């Protein structure tokens, strides 16, 4: 889809995946590395446990299909000239340099824009390129703390805990890939490049499921409860031990989930696990009954104990088979070995089969970003050896020019300034819950016109999720809905009526993209098959987003992000080694996967601009999220080891912990990435002088002793004060923050992360601004999320040209319900 696009990857493990995503979509990627290689090559585990820059499994998993070019940008003027020549012919640059670092070399964004005004330049940094924390460092653990996700994850009686496969920079890399493709969409029309600024802190905040809005909405951010989440007064448990491991179960209530829970308790009753009264609870209205006092939190806790006892009588497979047979929301917490043997992925031809050095047989590695009706893309090959392509690439650099229609003039660049890059893109949105709407929120943020179709006959799941505005449950006040649907137009249509289908068909004729996130087959049953849509609009792109994709033996499996996370391996790799896994907070694949869906869709639009062809896109949220588990998949297949949860320990770094500070449930994430940082910490904390000489591997071996000393020392300090002192001496650190703290975080205030929009029902309300922005374009949402049926006149009258009589007839026919 991105044939002809050349990407320069000047990143390390914090940004490698951004370029790899574009590579997976067809772009050529040149990894420009310093002598000795970029930092990912130094990170273990290593193939066969042999420490070698060409054997790092982190490098192997994040740099597949790239070509390696070694240039000494820091110390060689000649190599800087060679880099400039590469930039002259490039389309996209990703870099993770510290703010100002490239400017000091004469390679800053304005320097490079003069060389190539068509260049799309994406900077990926911990906190963004400007602001009071712009110079702070944030390895994985620190970025998770700064973004609010870490405080939500883990057991209440222990420190917050991360996924043992580092995740923070995958969020940032996903946003970086999307930013590049958003800019390329506009560049196809104008020839003008753009600069995008990615903050890992802001990217990570997506993984809180809008809990960061809690303070402004008059409620309290959810707390760690060990394998679950707090929703208002109740603790929702997501992890359930069984005979041979754990499963994840969505045990909730309401219009969307209640029928699943009813069927679950019918099964429990059949096997003698509960009485009739428990079986016959009104799971649709149970939430309302909790609010009125007809049901109690204590009763909900009792029902959880009933379910817990039932799970202990079954194996993972028995529970999963029951889920498939009875349409229940249950999934096994898979190990990485389980994931590699999962039949569904094999049947869908998901895996890239890649030959790796020293391994007999091909490894199974994350496959296509998205499946398309154009056919399966070629697998990404193995990661390159250091400098393997330097000579060949440099020999032809002078002949390469960007893939743009015209070379932009100064007037062209001025015309683009201040304009959102996706203006003119038209999207018909049938997305649902969280993962799907998050995809189209990105498009709305950057200028696309989104028409969102709902039905008042079945309230959208996202409208039922906390936090609620002014802490009052209300279909118009869900922070999750308001955040994920900002900037969209909204209408109500009943597509089961003839009149409603006619409205949808007219909107299909208008749209460039139709996006839906219903259970596979539901859209087809309404009569909206891809063949029908293509007959109405030959160039339309249909994006279908679902938990496990549109094909395969489990395609009909309905579920949420917690279930996808469990099946993909995230649950098993999150928690403490001496306890049951807890999994990342909430529906984790719902937060990760939209980045890849956006990338796949924009790449398809890029291809359509060249060919005029529409397509059917099949996006599996679980498959997309598995890109963030690449090192663990490598470790199992190359070294034969299953990546296990290990608290906050890191294989390469020590100290690497969440350490206590003064206050209730108060912590600082603290990481020494270098020997120099460790020596500075030893000096600040007055540790044993002999410790300062310990190398990284020695510190890892003495982790328990060292981190106990850090914890004993840190507990007397204020968290913000300690983090600032540590950052000043080169130690990565940040307090684990909640919603209250995030709302006054000076970095987020500087970045304009909190935005107020005018809502049709609630007036001025705060939401999160776009996760990334472009130079010259204010980082603001396009508007508020729509109230139910709010934009009937704008859509049916303004876009489709219906007159008042026709709209009235539709109302009478019940088509606008």
What does the pLDDT look like over 275-324, one tens digit per residue?
Answer: 999 999 999 999 889 989 999 999 999 999 999 999 999 999 999 999 99
Angle made by CA atoms 737, 742, 747, in degrees to the nearest 5: 110
Closest of 591, 173, 704, 215 to residue 583, by C-alpha:
591
- Look at residue 717 and tell me whether its pLDDT is greater than 90: yes
Percent of the chain clearing pLDDT 70 (strictly above): 100
Question: At 33, which helix (H) or strand (E)?
Answer: strand 28-33
Following DSSP, what letter does each residue of 644-676 receive, concatenated?
Answer: --BTB--SS-SSEEEEE-SSTT-EEEEE--SHH
Give the tens place of pLDDT for each residue, 187-200: 999 999 999 999 99
- Residue 542, both tokens: 């249909």
The whole-angstrom separation of Cα 774 and Cα 776 is: 6
What tens digit of pLDDT does each residue of 656-668 get? 999 999 999 999 9
Q: pLDDT, tens digit, for every residue of 663-695?
A: 999 999 999 999 999 999 999 999 999 999 999
Please state which CATH number belongs to domain 420-552+577-626+776-812: 3.40.50.10540
To 5 degrees, how large is the angle CA 666–CA 201–CA 606?
155
How many degrees, rounded to 5, is the angle at CA 584 between CA 583 and CA 586?
Answer: 105
Separation of CA 523 from chain center: 25
Tokens of 17: 């995946």
Neighbouring residues of 157: CB distance < 8 A, sequence distance ≥ 6: none
Q: Over the stretch 749-781, which tens digit does the pLDDT of each residue have?
A: 999 999 999 999 999 999 999 999 999 998 899
* Residue 191 near residue 416 (C-beta atoms within 8 A): no
Task: Characterize 469-505 residue by residue with b for buried, 16 or more Cβ atoms within 10 angstroms of its Cβ, and e for exposed.
Answer: beeebebbbbbbbbbbbbbbbbbbbbbebebbbebbb
DSSP 315-360: -HHHHHHHHHHHT--EEE---HHHHHT-HHHHHTT--EEE--TT-S
DSSP sequence for 184-252: HHHHHHH----EEEEEHHHHHGGGGTTGGGTTTTTS------SSEEEETTEEEE-EEEETTEEEEE---
Q: Burial of 396 by CB count in 10 Å (0-12 exposed, 13-18 middle, 19+ buried)?
A: exposed
pLDDT digits (tens, 9 = 90+) for 577-608: 999 999 999 999 999 999 999 999 999 999 99
Structure tokens at 779: 């980082």
**Cα 564 from Cα 587, distance rounded (Å):** 8
Domain positions in the chain are 420-552+577-626+776-812, 656-743
pLDDT at position 233 over 90: no
Mean pLDDT of 1-15: 98
pLDDT, tens digit, 9 for 90 and up, residues 445-479: 999 999 999 998 888 999 989 999 999 988 999 99
Residue 480 structure tokens: 């999750």
* Average pLDDT value over all residues in the chain: 96
The band of 413, judged by pLDDT with boundaries at 50, 70 and 90, is confident
How do residues 533-552 score in pLDDT, each as one tens digit?
999 999 999 999 999 999 99
pLDDT tens profile 236-276: 899 999 999 999 999 999 888 999 999 999 999 999 999 99
Residue 108 CA, distance from chain mean position = 28
Backbone angles phi, psi at 236, to 5 degrees: -95, 120
Q: Which pLDDT score is estimated for 622? A: 97
Please report, for residues 30, 359, 367, the alpha-carbon distance to residue 381 in angstroms, rounded to integers and kept in the order given. 14, 14, 11
* pTM of structure: 0.96
- pLDDT tens digit sequence for 74-111: 999 999 999 999 999 999 999 999 999 999 999 999 99
Residue 655: asked if its preceding bond is cis (omega within 30°), the reply is yes
What digits encode the pLDDT tens for the residues 26-40?
999 999 999 999 999
Stretch 417-429: mean pLDDT, rounded?
95
Q: What integer pLDDT is reported at residue 169 of this predicted model? A: 99
415 has a pLDDT exceeding 80: no
Instruction: Supply the pLDDT for residue 410.
Output: 75
> How would CATH label the architecture of 656-743?
2-Layer Sandwich (3.30)
Cis check for the bond before 755: say yes or no (omega within 30 of 0).
Answer: no
C-alpha span between 665 and 737 (Å, rounded): 10
Cα distance between residue 353 and residue 364, in whole Å: 5
CA dihedral 547, 221, 306, 548 (to 10 degrees): 0
Q: What is the pLDDT of residue 691?
A: 97
The torsion angle over the Cα atoms of residues 61, 64, 67 and 70, rounded to 10 degrees, is 0
Q: Which residues, at least 6 apart from 575, have a Cβ–Cβ distance to it below 8 Å? A: 154, 155, 161, 227, 581, 582, 583, 645, 647
């Amino acid at each position: 889809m991105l044939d002809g696009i050349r990407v320069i990857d000047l990143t390390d493990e914090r940004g490698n995946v951004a370029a790899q995503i574009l590579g997976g979509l067809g772009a050529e990627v040149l990894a420009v590395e310093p002598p000795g290689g970029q930092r990912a090559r130094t990170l273990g585990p290593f193939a066969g446990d042999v420490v070698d820059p060409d054997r790092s499994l982190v490098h192997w998993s994040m740099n597949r299909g790239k070509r390696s070019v070694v240039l000494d940008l820091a110390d060689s003027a000649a190599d800087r000239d060679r880099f400039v020549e590469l930039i002259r012919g490039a389309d996209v640059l990703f870099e993770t340099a510290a703010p100002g670092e490239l400017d000091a070399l004469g390679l800053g964004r304005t320097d490079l824009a003069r060389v190539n005004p068509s260049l799309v330049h994406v900077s990926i940094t911990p906190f963004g390129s400007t602001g009071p924390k712009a110079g702070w460092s944030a390895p994985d653990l620190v970025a998770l703390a700064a973004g609010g996700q870490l405080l939500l994850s883990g057991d209440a009686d222990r420190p917050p805990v991360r996924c043992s496969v580092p995740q923070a920079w995958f969020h940032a890399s996903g946003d970086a890939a999307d930013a590049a493709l958003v800019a390329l969409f506009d560049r196809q029309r104008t020839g003008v490049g753009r600069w995008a600024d990615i903050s890992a802190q802001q990217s990570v905040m997506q993984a809180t499921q809008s809990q960061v809005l809690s303070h402004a909405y008059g409620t309290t951010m959810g707390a760690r409860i060990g394998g679950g989440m707090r929703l208002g007064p109740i603790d929702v448990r997501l992890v359930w031990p069984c005979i041979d491991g754990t499963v994840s179960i969505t045990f909730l209530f309401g219009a969307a989930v209640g029928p699943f829970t009813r069927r679950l308790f019918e099964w429990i009753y059949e096997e003698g696990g509960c009485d009739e009264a428990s079986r016959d609870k009104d799971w649709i209205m149970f939430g309302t009954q909790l609010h009125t006092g007809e049901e109690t939190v204590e009763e909900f806790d009792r029902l959880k104990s009933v379910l817990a006892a039932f799970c202990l009588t079954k194996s993972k497979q028995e529970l999963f088979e029951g889920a498939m047979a009875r349409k229940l929301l249950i999934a096994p917490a898979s190990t990485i070995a389980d994931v590699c043997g999962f039949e569904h992925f094999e049947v869908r031809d998901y895996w890239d089969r890649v030959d790796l050095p020293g391994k007999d047989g091909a490894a199974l590695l994350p496959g296509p970003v998205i499946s398309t009706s154009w056919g399966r893309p070629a697998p990404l090959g193995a990661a390159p050896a250091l400098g393997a392509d330097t000579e060949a690439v440099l020999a032809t650099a002078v002949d390469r020019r960007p893939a743009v229609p015209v070379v932009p003039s100064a007037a062209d660049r001025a015309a683009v300034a201040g304009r959102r890059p996706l203006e003119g893109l038209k999207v018909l949105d049938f997305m649902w819950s969280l993962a799907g709407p998050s995809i189209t929120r990105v498009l709305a943020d950057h200028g696309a016109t989104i028409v969102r179709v709902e039905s008042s006959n079945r309230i959208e799941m996202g409208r039922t999720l906390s936090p609620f505005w002014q802490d009052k449950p209300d279909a118009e006040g869900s922070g999750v809905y308001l955040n994920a649907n900002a900037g969209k137009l909204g209408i109500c249509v009943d597509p089961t009526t003839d009149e409603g289908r006619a409205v949808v068909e007219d909107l299909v004729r208008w749209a460039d993209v139709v996006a839906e996130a219903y259970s596979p087959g539901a859209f087809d049953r309404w009569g909206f098959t891809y063949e029908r849509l293509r007959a109405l609009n030959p160039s339309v792109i249909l994006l279908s987003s679902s938990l496990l994709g549109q094909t395969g033996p489990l395609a009909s499996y309905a579920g949420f992000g917690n279930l996808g996370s469990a099946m993909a391996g995230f649950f098993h790799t999150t928690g403490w080694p001496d306890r049951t896994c807890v999994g990342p907070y909430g529906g984790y694949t719902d937060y990760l996967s939209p980045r890849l869906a956006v990338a796949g869709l924009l790449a398809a639009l890029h291809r359509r601009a060249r060919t005029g062809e529409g397509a059917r896109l099949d996006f599996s949220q679980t498959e997309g999220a598995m890109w963030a588990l690449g090192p663990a998949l490598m470790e199992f297949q190359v070294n034969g080891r299953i990546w296990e949860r290990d608290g906050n320990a890191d294989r390469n770094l020590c100290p690497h912990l969440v350490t206590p500070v003064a206050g209730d449930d108060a912590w600082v994430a603290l990481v020494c990435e270098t020997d120099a940082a460790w020596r500075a910490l030893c000096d600040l904390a007055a540790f044993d002088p002999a410790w300062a000489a310990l190398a990284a591997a020695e510190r890892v071996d003495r982790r328990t002793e060292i981190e106990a000393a850090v914890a004993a020392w840190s507990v007397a300090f204020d968290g913000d004060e300690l983090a600032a002192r540590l950052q000043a001496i080169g130690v990565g650190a940040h307090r684990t923050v909640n919603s209250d703290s995030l709302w006054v975080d000076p970095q987020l205030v500087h970045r304009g992360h909190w935005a107020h929009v005018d809502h049709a029902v609630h007036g001025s309300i705060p939401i999160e601004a776009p996760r990334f922005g472009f130079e010259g374009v204010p980082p603001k949402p396009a508007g508020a999320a729509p109230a139910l049926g709010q934009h009937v006149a704008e859509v049916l009258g303004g876009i489709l040209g219906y007159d008042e009589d026709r709209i009235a007839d539709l109302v009478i026919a019940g088509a606008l319900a």
